[in-house]
Amino acid sequence: MANISNEVRNYFKLELLIARLCPTLRNLFITRYSLFNNGQTWIDSAVHGNNYLTNVISKNKKINLTPPQKKTVDNGNTNEWDISTLTAILLHSDRPQTLNTNEIQKIDQEDLLLEQLRLLRNKLAHNSSKSIGDIEFNQLWNDLSTILVAFGDIDTELDKLKDDSVFESPEQTINEENKNEALRLNSLGTQAHKDGKYSEAIKFFIQATVLSSVSNHDRATFFSNMAASRVSLYKQHLYTVDDCEDGDITKELDRAEKDAKQARKLWVTWWKAHYRVGQVYAILDYHDKAINSFERALALDSTKIEIQKALDESRIIVHRNSRQEYLDPRANWKTIPENLNELKEKFGLDPEMVRQNRSLLELIDPSAADVMK
C-alpha cells in the first residue's frame, strides 16, 4: 500500500465495508424466499436457480438484471450473487397478500436500508477515479456503518476495517516445502503458457493453488495466471477447428472469471487481479463491468499502459453500442459464439469460415470486427 494514495485507500476500504453485507443479504433472501413461498426452503442448486429465474425474475419487469447477473441466478448458488443482484431481487420481488402487519413493517424497514445501500453503492461504482477524499470518506463510512449495524453487524468490528493493515497480507504459517513446490509448478505453468500449451499450463496452476500453507499473494498470482491461461485457451479454440463443443470451451470463461475473482479476493490491492477480472468481462461483452474493474486496476497502478488501453477499448465499445441502441432500439448484441450458431442455423454457414473471415476483417478494419451483430 506504500505507493497507493490515501484517497484510493479510502475507496477500497469502503468496498470492503460493502462486501461485508453479502452474507447478510443472502440470508435475508433465503428468509424472504421461505416467507413468500409458503415456507418452502431455498436450496442452492441449478434447479432452484433456473426455476426462480424462469418463474420470478423473467415475469417481474421491476427486477432488472444484467446478463451476467441472470446467469448467476440461473446457476442457483447464492454465494455467487453480488450486492447488486441481491438488492434488486430483495427490493422488487412481489410480496404475497398473506403477510401480517408485523411482517410488512419489518420488510418496509429493511427495504429502506436496502435502498440507501443501493444509492451509496452506485455512488461508489460511478466514481471513475476510484479515489475519495477524507471528508467524503468519513460521511460514506458513517452512512454504510449505520446500515451494517442495523442489519446486525458489530460497530467495533467495522472500525478495524478503517486501518490500513486490512490491506496487508495476514500473518500466515508458511510451509516452505509447499511454497517452493507451488512456485516450481507456477514456473512450469508459466512456461507452458508461453509455449501455447494452455491446457497443460492450467493443470500446473491448479496443482499450485491446492497446496496448503502458501501465502495469499502467491496464491493470488497462481489464480491470476490460471485465469490468463483459460482466456488464452478459449481464444485458441475459438479460431481453430477442433472437436471441442462451443459450450464446453465457453465454460473456460466461467472458470476464468472465478479464478480472477479469487485472485482479487486474496490480494485486493493488486492491480493485476482487477485487470484480469476486467479482461474476462470484456471477452464476455460485459463492458460496463469491465470498465469498473479496469478503473480499479488503473487507480492501483496508473503506470500500466495495458490497463489504459483495455479501459479505452471497453469505453469505446460501450459508447458505440449505446449510440446504436439509440438509433435502433431493437438492436440485440450477442456474443461471438451466439452469432456463429445463429448464422449456422439460419443460413448453414460454416462457423470456422466465419471465424477466418472475421480474423481477416480484424486485420483490415479492427473496429468493424470488434462487435458482431
CATH of region 171-264, choose from 3.30.1220, 2.60.460, 1.10.10, 1.25.40: 1.25.40
| Burial class of residue 218, CB neighbours in 10 A (0-12, 13-18, 19+) | buried
110 DSSP 8-state letter: H
The band of 328, judged by pLDDT with boundaries at 50, 70 and 90, is low
DSSP line for 178-228: HHHHHHHHHHHHHHHHHTT-HHHHHHHHHHHHT-SS--HHHHHHHHHHHHH
Residue 250: pLDDT above 60?
Answer: yes
CA distance 189 to 205: 6
Residue 290: phi and psi, rounded to 5, are -60, -45
Measured CA to CA, the distance from residue 214 to residue 64 in angstroms comes to 41
Burial class (CB within 10 angstroms; exposed 0-12, middle 13-18, buried 19+) of 178: middle
Give the integer Cα–Cα distance in Å for 218 and 267.
Answer: 9
pLDDT given for residue 232 in this prediction: 94
- pLDDT tens-place string over residues 91-138: 999 999 999 999 999 999 999 999 999 999 999 988 999 999 999 999
* pLDDT above 80 (res 369): no
The per-residue pLDDT of the chain, averaged, comes to 86
**pLDDT (tens digit per residue) in 336-364:** 566 666 655 655 555 555 555 555 444 44
Q: CA of 202: how far to CAs of 236, 248, 255, 370, in Å? A: 14, 15, 11, 28
pLDDT 10s digits, 287-311: 999 999 999 999 999 999 999 999 9
Q: Is 196 left (phi over 0), alpha (psi -120 to 50) or beta?
A: left
Which pTM does this prediction carry? 0.79
| Cβ-contact 26, 86 below 8 angstroms | yes
Q: What's the CA angle centered on 328, arms 325 and 331, to 5 degrees? A: 65
pLDDT tens column, 192-247: 999 999 999 999 999 999 999 999 999 999 999 999 999 999 988 876 655 555 55
Residue type at 28? L
CB atoms within 10 A of CB 257: 24
Inter-residue contact 67 to 286 (CB < 8 Å): yes
In this structure, what C-alpha cell is assigned to residue 6? Answer: 490515501
Looking at the chain, the domain(s) classified CATH 1.25.40 span 171-264
Angle formed by the axes of helices 83-92 and 101-125, nearest 10°? 140
Q: Quick one: angle between helices 305-327 and 271-283, nearest 10? A: 30
pLDDT tier, 167 (very low <50, low <70, confident <90, very high otherwise)? confident
Q: Rounded to whole angstroms, how far apart are CA atoms 319 and 180?
A: 47
What distance in Å separates the CA atoms of residue 41 and residue 100, rounded to the nearest whole number?
A: 20
Rounded Cα gap, residues 12 and 26, in angstroms: 22
> Would you say residue 324 has pLDDT above 50?
yes
Tell me 351's DSSP state.
H
pLDDT in tens, 7-25: 999 999 999 999 999 999 9
